[in-house]
Structure formats: C-alpha cells, structure tokens
C-alpha cells in the first residue's frame, strides 16, 4: 500500500508536467489578408437587333435572326430587302477575367406606335453562348452577338409600320 501511495503522487506529477509542456508548445502568428478591386464590367450596344423588312401575308409566322446574322422565316412571311442584323455588344473589364451572359428570360414586346399592335421576340441566343462561363475578357474586352426569333401575326394582327421595343441582357463577372 505504501508503494501505491508513493506511486500516485509521482504519476500525477508526471501528467502535470506533460500538460504544462503541451501548453508551453503553442504559438500564435500574425497573418496577412489581401483583396484586389478590379474595374467594373461595362457593356456598349454596337448594333441593334433588326429583323429587317417583311410582309406577314395572311397567317404570319416567325423570323429567326441568328447571332451570325443569318435570317430565316417560317409561315406565310415574305422576307424583303433592307438591313437586318443581330444585336452586337462590346464588353470591357479586367483583363483575363471570366464573365457570364444572362439573356432575357421571357419575350420582349415590339409595339407599332401608329396602331398599338404588338409582336414578341423570344428564343434568345448568343455567341459566345449564354451562361456562367460564357467567356474570358482577353485583353480586357469581348464582342458579343445576340440573335432571337420574332413572332409575327397575320396582316390584320400586324399592320404596316415600324415596331420597336426594348430588352435587357446582363453581363457579369463570374
């Protein structure tokens, strides 16, 4: 019993020293943090989306304007001469930054100001394709081309005149 009585204080003293040694081995460090502010991304419209001249005839139809500038019609639409082109945008920002493109979620409405009749624009597409990893601002800039499809009614629904409207596209850093 004497051995156990002497052994217990020795064991307690040993563990106390070990615990003190662990606490004495800790250290603290002062670290650095960094942040970099970059130029805001900007967008400029370089050309307006233009479906050109056409006649809807009896039933109307659709005109597809591709981002490459190819115009195609369906239904009874008769395409005519005149200018037609996809929308063009020029975006600038931090060199080599990645960016995203968000096209309109729904249709845009074009209105004939003489008759208040309307047409809708939908099925948006772009080059580069829309999404989170649309592209990289090589040298701090990128040209974007946007096409869409125009839905046209018959001559009674869409009489002669110029139709116009607006839509929103968002360009953002990833």
Question: pLDDT tens digits, residue range 127-155?
Answer: 999 999 889 999 999 999 999 999 999 99
What local confidence, expressed as pLDDT, does residue 1 receive?
47
The H-assigned helical ranges of the chain are 2-24
Asked if 114 and 161 count as a contact pair (C-beta separation under 8 A), the reply is yes
| Residue 112 dihedral angles phi and psi, to the nearest 5° | -85, 115
| Residue 97 dihedral angles phi and psi, to the nearest 5° | -80, 145
Pairwise CA distance, residues 106 & 97, whole Å: 28
What local confidence, expressed as pLDDT, does residue 81 receive?
83
Cβ-in-10-Å burial (0-12, 13-18, 19+) of 17 comes to exposed
* Cα angle, residue 78 at apex, residues 73 and 79 outer, rounded to 5°: 70
Strand partners, 2: none
What local confidence, expressed as pLDDT, does residue 12 receive?
52
What local confidence, expressed as pLDDT, does residue 94 receive?
95
SS3 4: helix
Q: Is 76 left (phi over 0), alpha (psi -120 to 50) or beta?
A: alpha
Asked if 87 and 168 count as a contact pair (C-beta separation under 8 A), the reply is no
- Residue in 157, 42, 49, 143 with CA at minimum distance from that of residue 104: 49
Residues of the chain with pLDDT under 70: 1-24
What local confidence, expressed as pLDDT, does residue 6 receive?
47
What local confidence, expressed as pLDDT, does residue 22 receive?
52
Query: What is the per-residue burial (b if ≥16 Cβ within 10 Å, else e) of 143-171?
Result: ebbbbbbbbbbeeeebeeeebeeebebeb
What local confidence, expressed as pLDDT, does residue 4 receive?
45
pTM: 0.80
């Amino acid at each position: 019993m004497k051995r156990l009585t002497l052994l217990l204080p020795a064991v307690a003293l040993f563990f106390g020293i070990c615990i003190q040694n662990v606490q004495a081995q800790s250290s603290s460090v002062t670290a650095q943090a960094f942040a970099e502010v970059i130029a805001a991304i900007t967008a400029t419209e370089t050309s307006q989306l233009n479906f050109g001249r056409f006649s809807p005839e009896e039933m109307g139809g659709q005109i597809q304007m591709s981002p490459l500038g190819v115009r195609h019609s369906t239904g009874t639409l008769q395409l005519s001469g005149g200018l037609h082109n996809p929308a063009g945008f020029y975006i600038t920002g931090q060199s080599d930054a990645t960016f995203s493109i968000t096209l309109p979620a729904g249709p845009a409405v074009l209105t004939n100001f003489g008759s208040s009749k309307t047409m809708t624009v939908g099925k948006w597409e772009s080059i580069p394709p829309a999404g989170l990893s649309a592209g990289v601002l090589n040298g701090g800039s990128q040209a974007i081309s946007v096409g869409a499809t125009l839905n046209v009614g018959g001559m009674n629904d869409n009489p002669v005149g110029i139709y116009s409207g607006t839509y929103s596209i968002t360009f953002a850093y990833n």
